[in-house]
Amino acid sequence: MIVMAATAVNGQDSGYIVGWGTRVMLEPLALRNIVAVSAGGSQSLALKSDGTIMAWGDNTLLQCAVPSPNANFAAVAGGGEYSVGLKSDGTIVRWGQLEMTVPVPPNENYVAVAAGVYHILGLKSDGSIAAWGVNNEGVCNVPSPNANFVAVAAGGVHSLGLKADGSIVAWGSNSAGQCDVPSPNTDFVAIAAGSEHSLGLRSDGTIVTWGSDYYGQCSVPTPNAGFVALDGGGWYSVGLKADGAIVAWGYNGYGQCSVPAPNADFVAVAGGIHHCVGLKSDGTVVAWGDNVYSECGVPSPNSDFMGVASGAIHYLGLKSDGAIVAWGDNGYGQCNVPAPNADFVAIAADVHHSLGLRSDGSLAAWGQSNYGESNVPAPNANFVSMAAGDQHNLGLKSNGTVVAWGRNQYGQCDVPAPNAEFVAVAAGGYHSLGVKSDGTVVAWGRNNYGQCNLPSPNEDFVAAAGGYGHSVGLKSDGTVVAWGYNNYGQCNVPEPNEGFVGIGTGDYHTVGVKSGGTLVVWGRDTHFQCSVPSPNSDFVAVAAGPTNILAVRAPIPVPVTLQSMEASTISSGVLVSWSVSDESHISEYKLHRSPLEIDESLLLARVETGASGTGRYDYIDEDVTAGGSYRYTLAAVEGDGTERVLGWCEARYHVKARFHLGQNFPNPFNPETVIQVDLPEPMRVDLVIYDVEGRLVARLADGVAPAGTSTYRWNGRDSAGHAVASGVYVYQLKAGKGTISRKMVLLR
């Protein structure tokens, strides 16, 4: 059932873990250039700067299967067992739990979306709210007048809407007072909802909470000041401070309130049922809390793995130094690797227990032991390999004998005589297989689907694997033979049936590894477990779980050669240019800047490879000071996220201050953003904000500004002091004879 544990493909290569099927685990570089995050019941979501959505964690109801085309998204929200994305054209896309359908018609003109456990709220551009889903306690019945809303939040069975005048409207279940907004109900700029509690952020940076406080989720830690964003988890709350630190309080049974160090440089935070996701200013993501479904990802660092194994809801990774990393469900202690966690050379896992083979030939077993499956028979010595089935295990000794223990309801632990000359073993759901030195396969145990009936000719086998009711064998010529239960096509080996070097099976699917490190998966594909994520190459190990697959992909060495790098002064700043040779295996470049007189470094830009199409790249650093001297350092990022410095250059910016309007920061923002203006001399300036229809929203400056740099802040309110809706806004600077306009995004 759970086989192909730590199956090495290309010798002892190592790399990072990816997973697909019912458990989605992303490669390290997937979570770069992120602009927004969200957390659902047991899934996490991130919106990239290119408008695509990355989803990871539980995919049992396909809540991580973003529909095609995965493009042009502007916002994302995670619900209980479903996910929602808002497109830039104002339409909403839903995936996951089937009941959560999008209202049609009209699916248009949405500017924000919120997802509760079983209901969805959509904010329209006209300020009205649409609500749909399971309407328990009237959670979808928006109170009248349904107008002038600028933000929405969805809790367990209650809903919140923020009005343009700064007041909050709440409806749905009020079992714990979560709909009783405290007085004065005014001056709010953001809202959030947990399972049975609500939160509001005031314009002065304080947080107001109401509803259930059973776990202290409504007891805001002191000092209650300086907050710029907030969210509500299951029975806990999180707030983001203006200094980039996150504060979390309430139920902490899964560590969801224990923000990992360094607690700094965050620009956004989202709370799921039992886990949190934070977005850093450099566009990377940090997740913490419950990780039963890998909603927080493979434990960091996701690198240097040489083997993997998958149980029902727990996972093992074998590091090249012989240590085991375990994560997921730990209800039976199946993730508690026994000490010393060292010298392991192979791993295996069944439904709720784990196995590890040490270099001295002994086995370690831990987790569930209802049938003694975690009790290795004595003498525990001279093992060379092992396999884990559904509550039974097989161990192969160096003398060619097989030891079997655990559940024996169908005789799966009764090794047929002669128990000798075995060279490999495999365990299915309730049956066992062994490969003999003469190339024949022996099968025993449950045979209700013919999984123990070897097809003729029974010869030339070098490996075997067992699924729930089917068996697979690998021949010495690189072909695969499969037999037994075939209702999902798991025994129909795809053509060309050649070049295989490894095999494995889940419950009803089969995986084969080709000699070039590519994977072929066939059989049941209900959760896309047969859809190998791109690029399908460089896999060095693979394991098949019941309805999922884990694999180790080797990071490809960076062959790039820096041919040139230089920095020069231009009117708008410093132009940094570089050219490279072969960059086919690099994911991106990082350009850092540091003043020559100060020992500190700033990440200026992340540049995707291939962006130039020529191997030559240019970047203009506009945020420089007249007379300043700078060093620019260029690094290449490899496939596993490792950075390698390629070179550096220096420049002195000797041009006088110029007329310039900087990009607002942060962007997207909520509730406040900063705009920087540079002037060559004192002059009258007019800095205004418009909506996309060209209507004046607010005026930030109208008067004489000094030469040099001036900073202006916008709090997301119009000239009348009302909070404006989420969306795209244009800010325009007029000074002297010049006019400059830029865009920014407000996300409530």
Domains 305-553 and 562-652 share a fold: no
Q: Assign a CATH topology to domain 26-289.
A: Methylamine Dehydrogenase; Chain H (2.130.10)
Question: CA–CA separation, 648 vs 651, rounded Å?
Answer: 11
Give yes or no for residue 121 having a pLDDT over 80: yes
pTM comes to 0.78
Q: What percent of the chain has pLDDT over 70?
A: 93
Q: pLDDT tens digit string along 549-580?
A: 999 998 755 455 678 888 887 767 888 988 88
pLDDT tens per residue, range 71-87: 999 999 999 999 999 99
Exposed, middle or buried by CB within 10 Å (0-12, 13-18, 19+), for 308? buried
Distances (CA, A) of 270 to 100, 261, 450: 21, 17, 50
pLDDT at 253 over 60: yes
Q: How confident is the model at residue 3 (pLDDT cuts 50, 70, 90)?
A: very low
Of 500, 588, 37, nearest to 287 by C-alpha is 37
Higher pLDDT, 474 or 580: 474
Confidence bin at 22 (pLDDT 50/70/90): very high
Angle ∠(631,634,639) on CA atoms, nearest 5: 155
Q: Is the pLDDT of residue 612 over 80?
A: no
Cα 120 from Cα 133, distance rounded (Å)? 6
pLDDT tens digits, one per residue of 520-546: 999 999 999 999 998 898 899 999 999
The owner of tokens 């000699």 is 515
Is the pLDDT assigned to residue 741 strictly greater than 90?
no
C-alpha 206, offset from chain centre? 30
> 584 pLDDT exceeds 80?
no
Instruction: Say how many C-beta atoms besides its own lie within 10 A of residue 440's C-beta.
Output: 16
The residue ranges of every structural domain in the chain are 26-289, 305-553, 562-652, 660-746
Torsional sign, CA 324, 328, 334, 339: positive
Q: What are the structure tokens assigned to 35, written together?
A: 């602009």
* pLDDT above 80 for 101: no
Q: Maximum distance among all alpha carbons in the chain?
A: 97
Q: Does the domain formed by 660-746 have CATH 2.60.40.4070? A: yes
pLDDT of residue 6: 36
Spatial CB neighbours of 714, under 8 Å, sequence gap ≥ 6: 664, 672, 673, 675, 689, 698, 700, 731
Topology of the domain covering 305-553: Methylamine Dehydrogenase; Chain H (2.130.10)
Residues of the chain with pLDDT > 90: what percent? 69
Segment 325-372, tens digit of pLDDT: 999 999 999 999 999 999 999 999 989 999 999 999 999 999 999 999
Question: Which CATH fold topology does 562-652 show?
Answer: Immunoglobulin-like (2.60.40)
Q: What secondary structure, in 3-state letters, does 237-263 show?
A: EEEEECCCCEEEEECCCCCCCCCCCCC
Q: What was the pLDDT predicted at 9? A: 37
pLDDT at 219 over 70: yes
Residue 613's pLDDT is 58
pLDDT computed for residue 5 by the predictor: 34
Distance from C-alpha of 123 to C-alpha of 105, rounded to nearest angstrom: 15
Residue 461 binned pLDDT confidence (cut-offs 50, 70, 90): very high
In this structure, are residues 228 and 243 in contact, taking their beta carbons and an 8 Å threshold? Answer: no
